[in-house]
Structures are given as structure tokens and as C-alpha cells.
Amino acid sequence: MDIFLQQLVNGLTLGSVYAIVALGYTMVYGIIQLINFAHGEVVMIGAMVSLSVINALAGSGLGLPPLAILLAGALVAIPACMGVGYALERVAYRPLRSAPRLAPLITAIGLSIILQHLALIVWSRNPLSYPQVVEVVSYHVTHNPDGARITNVQIAIIGTSIAMMAGLTGLIYRTKLGIAMRATSQSQQIAGLMGIDVNRVIALTFVIGAGLASMAGVMVGTYYGIAQYQMGFLLGLKAFSAAVLGGIGNIAGAMLGGLLLGVIEALGAGYVGDLTNLCQLSGWSTAIAQRCAGDPNLSLFGSNYQDVFAFFVLIAVLVFRPSGLLGERVSDRA
Amino acid sequence: MRALIPTKHPLAAKAGVVLIALALAVLPFALTGIGTAWVRITNLAILYVLLSLGLNIVVGFAGLLDLGYIAFYAVGAYTYALLASPHFGLHLPFWVIIPIGSLVACMFGVLLGTPTLKLRGDYLAIVTLGFGEIIRIFLNNLSQPVNITNGAQGIAGIDPFRFGSFDFATTSAIDGVTITGPIKYYYLLLAVLLVVIVVNLRLQNSRIGRAWEAIREDEIAARAMGINTRNMKLLAFAMGASFGGIAGGMFSAIQQFISPESFVLVESINIVAMVVLGGMGNIWGVILGALLLSFVPEVLRYTVGPTQQALFGRMLIDPEVIRMLLFGVTLVAMMLFRPAGLLPSALRKRELETARNGTAAP
């Protein structure tokens, strides 16, 4: 039970990061029906920029409080990522809006490679340790002193994510820009006729998504304590899976999908070893029994398969429910 | 039907073919003069051409973007490695394993295709990308509890191709001419490439090829014309995969060592870049794209380092990074300025032009 709770806490933390990144995918998809393949790299840039700022401030000897340093890192990362997001839209998507849909996907892949390797040139090939300016304190979840724990970083990540999701929901459903975005996603032509500057709205969608992604970068960096130029790829792919799981194009779906995927992944990694433990089959084969005598944890799959779960979820959703949990049917939209 | 040799000037064309054949025949010896490494590089380039032609069936002919194509290469390579190495103590001859590898890769192609083919293009791209990663993660981890792939260490000591006493990996002298291992493989690869090109050309103009083209242009119309779109798309996946499997088996034998490192996502993207650069759907374009993106980075590797040393006194940017930036820029620039590729297929060109002018459905 304690393992379950602990994995649940870890899963929710990871899941809220996925949700934030997934929102970027789902917003872009909702508005132009295209997958922003380079979105994961925006997360990476966010992590890297904030890392540099935090390192500079922490090493400057100004004696700033840790939270202020972290906040400064985020405040520099957000506009930097917004710039990257805007550039992505201008270079990869706007010129190709009427081209066959594979064309912008391919430019986005190209930009993703370019961003990765520019980051490699700036921040080196090696994994960098993300400065841990905030002292990690962990709290008990239950009364059991050896039981599941939650750290202040985890609480902050979950809290910030919820706040950002609430803010975004407000933006989309309560503001004029939100109305323009929803109108554009229904029909670009009609929205344009209603006096909406469609180009501006689409660009802003990319920029807002990139802003969210930069925060995700800061959170991932703080949580794992590590940043590398390739970190955005897998994270982006998983967040995309989360968006599809929730129903791509659907804001609430991305949040739900992100949280669910995080929990699935954490629980999967925590339990796959026990579930595929071959020693349960000892009665069937003496060879297995002999090996289990030496190693009682002989299992078919271990937690090193953690990264596979997201892909299986993605494939399973697309096969059995392509519309996702909350979305409308998309697979046959031409 | 477009023949291999244009018929307008038959004599000149025949002379040209003979000249090209001669040039290709003496190429490895000329390259040995520059350095044996270049023969190996040429061999790898031909492998990339094979892979690009395989991917071209899926992307170019049938219009299905596959971002996990390297997985089939990996399947072919590992099939060969497991059946012809000390790892399991099996040493089957290559002419038995290569067809097996191609068949296994083909099965994986169907396995991937069956659940995903009803998806739309960009979804399919992401799912195939995930599939490629799944294969790599499994290759990396299938050393426990039963050691199948030897995990991240990879498999070493893989048998080279052997034909009776004729060994492709060793140097031998025929009529006083020394022929090194890479040169032998070069001729073998060239022969395989020729067969693959002919198969591709015939395929493109066959009933199947036209069905793929119809699906690529308009799937609903194709179905209305009585084409079994699901089976045709599966066939494209299976054929593309089996070509990848053949190339993988040869890669395994030539390198004599493989590890999951060789089958990362970046490799899939390289091959996509080659197909895109050359011109999706045009066999000659794809060959050109693959050769360009195989050789230019190698030339850069030999020139960029020394240039930087001379200019700045140290290496500022790793040639490998420049290679990757080149791939990225190629993908972006091609899509923006010449979306049909360097040598566009006539149909693809027309299609992109109509889309550009905005007459096609959004």
C-alpha cells in the first residue's frame, strides 16, 4: 500500500508536468490540426535557459533567496521559449499552412534537430546537473513513519501546474483572445470574416503553449536535477501520448491525459517487476525454480521498461478509442 | 512505362550506361588510393541508398510517413546477428539468414501496420516513431532474465558473408590483384542495389504501384475504384520493412558488431531526410538524396576539423553536430523552398503545386 501511495505521488507529479506539456500540443492541434513536433525541444530550451540563469545568480554571491533565484530562472526562460515558439510558427507552420500535412511535420522535425544541436553547441553534450537551490523537505503522507512521502518540490510542481491549468482555462473560456482562439479552431475562414486576425491568434497559441512548456522545463529540471540537450524528445513524445489519451484538441482532455499517463507510468514501473515475476511459475518448471533460488526477483520485465508504457498507451488509445477519453472522433477527419 | 534506358538517343544512352558501369567497377580501387576508409564509407552509403529505397516505398509510393523505419533495419540486423554469431553458437550461412531476416522484418511491418493504418498521416508518423523506440528499448533490455540481445553491449563476432571458402571479410588476391574485404562487399552491395532498383522500378509501374499512388493521392477515391486500401497499405509497409531487413542483415555482416546504439531515432530521421531531399516517390531522386547525405557529412568530417584547427586553433564545433545541423536544415529548407525534392517525381510535383496554389482541399 505504501509503495502504491508513493508511486501515486510520483505519478501525479510527473503527470502534472506531462499535462502542462500536453496542453501545448493540444492547443496547437486544436487550432490548426497539426502536431507541433518540436514542442518537446521548447521544454528543453526552457530547462537549459533557466539552468544557466540559476547557475549565474546562485554563483554571483548576491545572496538572493532560493525562491527568488528559481523565479528569476523561470522569468527569463518564459520569454526565451515564447520567442522559440513564435519562431517555430513563423518558420515551420505559417508558410506551409496550405501544403500537404506531412510538409509542416517534416519542417518541424528539422527544426527540432536544429534546436537540439544548437543547444548542444551552447550547453555541451553532457548531462548538466540542474542546480538544486531549494532545499528539499519531505513530508509523510500517512501516519506510517516509513511510508510514502511527498516533497515540497513535488507539492510545488503539482500546485503550479494546477494554477497554470486554471489560468489557461480562464484565458480560453473567459477572455476575448480565448473566444478568438476557439472561433479560429472551428473555422479559420469564418473567424477571419468576423474580424479576427487569424495569423495573430495562431501565433499567440504557439507562444502560450511555449510559455507553458518553459515552466514544464523548469519543473522537470528541478524535479530530476538534470538537464540534457536531448531531454525534450522523450518528454515531448510522452506528453503527446498524454494529449492523445485525453483526446487531442481538448483542453480538459490534455490535463486528464497527462495526469493519467503519469500515474500509469509510475505504477507500471513500480509493479511491472512483480507482475511479471517468473518465480510464481516455479511449480511449473524446475529450471525456473533453480534460478529463483538464487534470485527471487527474477522477472520478465523490470522498471527499465518504464519508457515503453507511454507508447503502448498511445498505440492502444489510437487503436481502440482514437478520439481519446474526452475528445471527438479525429482519426477520420480528412 | 519508363524504361531504365531512355530511348531517344539509344546509342548515346547505351554508351552512358557502359561508362557509368565502368566507373562504378573501378571506383573502389580509385578510392583505395585516397584511403581504405572511403571504401567503407561508400559501402555504408550504398546501405543508406538501400534503406532509402525501402522507405521510399512506404513514404514516396504509398504516402505513409514512417518515422520508425530504422526498427526494421534493426530487426534484420539482429536476426542476422543472432543466427550467425557465437552469441547462441549458431552459424547459419548468409543466404539462409538474409531471407529469414527479411521475412521477420516483414512480419514486424505487418505487426506495426495492422493496428495503425486507419490513422491519418501525422498520427501514423508519431506512432511509428513510438514503435521504433519500443523496438530499441527492447533490444536494450532483453538481456534479462534470458539473454537474447545481450543488451546495450551488443553482439560481437558476427560472421561475415562466406561462400564456401570465399570469405568476404578477408583480403585475397585474384590474378595478382589484391581485393580487400570492403571491396568485395562493395561489389556485393552494388549487385544487391541493382536488383533492388530494378524491383523498385518494376514495382512503381505495376498494378500495385499504381494502387499505392492512387491511395497517396486520394484514399477515398482509391477505395471507390475498388482498391483494397487496407491490404495495399499493409503491403507497402511489409515490402518497405523487408527491404530494411535485408539492408540490416548486410549491415550486421559488414560491421561484424551491432548494438542498439546503431538504431536510434536519429537514424530513422536521417533516412527520411534522404528521401525528402531527393524527392519522395522518385527512385533516382531518392538515390541522389541518400548519396548526398551520406557523402557530404563525411567530406565535412575530413574538412571541418582541420579548418577549425587552422582558424581558431581548436575544434569549436564537432563535425557530427554539423552533420546533424545539415540534416535539420535540409529538412526545413527542402520543405519550404523545394518541397518536391531535388529530382521530383512528376506527379508529386504537380500535387504540391496545386496545394500551393490553394486549389486543393485544406
Interface test with A, best of B116, B322, B325 (most A CBs within 10 A): B325
Whether A327 is covered by a domain: the verdict is: no
Q: d(Cα A19, Cα A240) in Å, to the nearest integer? A: 9
Q: What is the ipTM of this complex?
A: 0.82
Whether A326 is covered by a domain: the verdict is: no
In this prediction, residue B44 has a pLDDT band, given cuts at 50, 70 and 90, of: very high
Whether B204 is covered by a domain: the verdict is: yes
Give contacts of A34 with chain B, Cβ < 8 Å. Answer: 122
Residue B1 pLDDT more than 90? no
Q: Half-sphere exposure of A181 toward its Cβ, with a 13 Å CA cutoff?
A: 28
Give mean pLDDT, residues B52-57.
Answer: 94
Tally of domains within chain B: 1
Over the stretch A305-324, which tens digit does the pLDDT of each residue have?
878 888 888 888 887 887 88
In this prediction, residue B263 has a pLDDT band, given cuts at 50, 70 and 90, of: very high
- Segment among A277-286, A302-311, B196-205 with least mean pLDDT: A277-286
Identify the pLDDT of residue B7.
61
* Interchain pair B321, A314: CB under 8 A: no
CATH of the domain at A251: 1.10.3470
Over the stretch B81-102, which tens digit does the pLDDT of each residue have?
999 988 888 888 888 999 999 9
Whether A214 is covered by a domain: the verdict is: yes
Identify the pLDDT of residue B116.
78
- The distance of A247 to chain B (nearest Cα, Å) reads 13
Over the stretch A104-148, which tens digit does the pLDDT of each residue have?
888 988 999 999 999 999 998 899 999 888 888 888 887 877 788
Residue span of the structural domain in which A59 resides: 2-320
Does A275 or B24 have the greater pLDDT score? Answer: B24
Q: Is B155 exposed, middle or buried (0-12, 13-18, 19+ CB in 10 A)?
A: buried
Give mean pLDDT, residues A166-171.
Answer: 94
Whether B19 is covered by a domain: the verdict is: no
Give contacts of B115 with chain A, Cβ < 8 Å. Answer: 315, 318-319
Residue A273 pLDDT more than 80? no
Whether A290 is covered by a domain: the verdict is: yes
**Does B119 touch chain A if contact means CB atoms closer than 8 Å?**
yes
In this prediction, residue A296 has a pLDDT band, given cuts at 50, 70 and 90, of: low
**Does A308 touch chain B if contact means CB atoms closer than 8 Å?**
yes
Which positions 247-276 of B are in contact with A (Cβ < 8 Å)?
A: 265-266, 269, 272-273, 276
Residue span of the structural domain in which B187 resides: 26-262
Residue A9 pLDDT more than 90? yes
Tally of domains within chain A: 1
In this prediction, residue B245 has a pLDDT band, given cuts at 50, 70 and 90, of: very high
Identify the pLDDT of residue A62.
76
Interface test with A, best of B108, B120, B320, B337 (most A CBs within 10 A): B120
* Interchain pair B145, A300: CB under 8 A: yes
State the pTM of this model.
0.84
If you average pLDDT over each of A25-39, A280-294, B315-329, which comes out highest?
Answer: A25-39
Whether B270 is covered by a domain: the verdict is: no
Whether A330 is covered by a domain: the verdict is: no
